[in-house]
Amino acid sequence: MRHTTSNPASSTGERRVVANVVRGCIGNLVEWYDWFVYAAFSVFFAASFFPKSSTTAQLLSTALVFAVGFLMRPIGGYILGRYADRYGRKNALTLSVLMMAAGSLIIAATPSFEAIGMLAPALLVTARLIQGLSVGGEFASSATYLSEVATPGRRGFYSSFQYVSIILGQLAALGVQIILLQLLTLDQMHSWGWRVPFVIGAIAAVTVMLFRRGMDESDQYKDEAARIAAEKASGTTPSAKRGTLRLLLQYPKQLAMVFGLAIGGTVAFYTYTTYLQKYMINTSGIAPETVAWINFAALFVYMLLQPVAGLVSDRIGRRKVMLFFGIGSTVLTVPILTVLGNTTNAFVAFGLMMTGLVIVTAYSALSAIVKAELFPTKVRALGVGLPHAITAALFSGTAEPLALALKQAGHESAFFYYVVGCSALTLVAALFMPKGKGGTTLDPATGSPARDGREDDRDGRELERV
């Protein structure tokens, strides 16, 4: 059974695709705004939650709490990924944004360390645990949903908007920061101004939760649900339960590919989009206000590059684009970060950050689609979410605290080689991707391998030989 949303010849179907992508992305934007507000404003609220000591020690403490949130992402990826495979992508996306709202509200309302002592950091950790669950599930459900509702032959383009919304969420966080820095003094920012963006995030998340209720469920999920319902109606035992760990483990090669592709990409992404803000302030010595503008401008351009890279991958194949990231990040990370750490020139800093982000674009634009294409509908959300979340928890979530710890120990440059090593692992994984445009389980909706456009049947079998 096919639906109008998957008919590229129908203008109505195309409009529905666009409408669903927009609905999915708006929710994703708010979720990641809430997630990144923590990183953007940690320089201002670190002293409110932790005992007075050196600035680096306080930032390290907030970075460790940031990492704690990542530890919950595998649990969120499992729980909400399984929920999405069993009860629908739409329901999982609505639940995840509600959890994010709760986390932001807790942070906004928590008194300072001076007022309630150790209860302050305890509540901060609790809030980040909730948000970690939310983000772990959001990535899985969002990547799956956008890949499934996209028009066949343009899945790379449409699914790339997942990172457009992620970056737009980060830009929104930086935009709020820039506005508050213009309106408030630094003392006011450290005292109470940092609470404002969390209040905004909580309100926006509740609004989006109501908005997401109008989303269409993906055709793939509806077809899979209909198939299982038909089996039950005929008295046949369903071939396999959806979204179970046992079912997921039947795809070991696909799981290995997700781990390999995610390691370097997520570490590089958080290095250039999150850690670089603190790096330019603490190491380069650039003023916080200037760094905020550098970040905003670079991330805006980076956001615009996502659909371009997604469209290119639809034309030349995912593998070539992923190889560009693997080679570029492995070779250029050390030179970029070394030069950046020794300049106070804002334009040079922007150019270096932008160079890194151009390289990362080759991963981030394809992050959703290359993983979603590996799994059948009945386990796609779990297959995308769980291994990605585990990788994010072990590698990208620890990237910033590792970098700050190495700086405090006097070996900051060692972190550069850590990024290189992770990127090299992604390069190896990309080498094993199918050549050409590759196969996909997204078409037809039954989950059997299908071919888009000029795809070569030989390529669809290559992954099975890896």
Give the C-alpha distances (Å, rounded to integers) separating 106 from 99, 100, 374.
11, 10, 37
Percent helix, strand, coil in the chain, to 5, is 80, 0, 20
Q: Does domain 19-216+244-465 have CATH number 3.20.20.70?
A: no
Higher pLDDT, residue 225 or 6: 225
The structure's pTM equals 0.78
For residues 436 and 109, the model is more confident at 109
Q: How far apart are CA 186 and CA 429, in angstroms?
A: 46
CA separation for the pair 337, 186 (Å, rounded): 28
**Per-residue pLDDT at 384:** 87
Span of 55-69, 96-110, 219-233, 304-318 with lowest mean pLDDT:
55-69
Residue partners of 417: CB distance under 8 A and separation at least 6: 334
> Is residue 325 scored above 90 in pLDDT?
yes
Please state, in angstroms and as integers, the Cα–Cα distance from residue 176 to each residue in 33, 63, 94, 165, 309, following that order: 10, 21, 25, 16, 28
Average pLDDT, the chain: 82
Q: How would you class 126 by CB atoms within 10 Å of its CB: exposed for 0-12, middle for 13-18, buried for 19 or more?
A: middle
pLDDT tens-digit readout, 390-428: 888 888 777 888 888 888 888 888 999 999 999 999 999
Handedness of CA 44, 47, 48, 50 (dihedral sign): positive
Which residue's entry shows tokens 């005929």? 234
State the Rg of the chain over Cα.
22
Domain boundaries, the chain: 19-216+244-465
Locate tokens 């090299």: which residue?
A: 424
**4 band by pLDDT with thresholds 50, 70 and 90:** very low
Place 196 in a pLDDT band, splitting at 50, 70 and 90: very high
Residue 215 has pLDDT above 90, yes or no: no
Distances in Å between the Cα of 90 and the Cα atoms of 82, 83, 85 are: 13, 10, 10
Specify which of 33-42, 320-329, 402-411 reaches the highest per-range mean pLDDT: 320-329
What are the backbone angles phi and psi of residue 366, rounded to the nearest 5°?
A: -105, 0
The letter for the amino acid at 88 is G
Strand-pair partners of 450: 440
413-432 residues labelled b (16+ CB within 10 A) or e (exposed):
eebbebbbebbbbbbebbeb
For residue 369, pLDDT over 70 is answered with yes
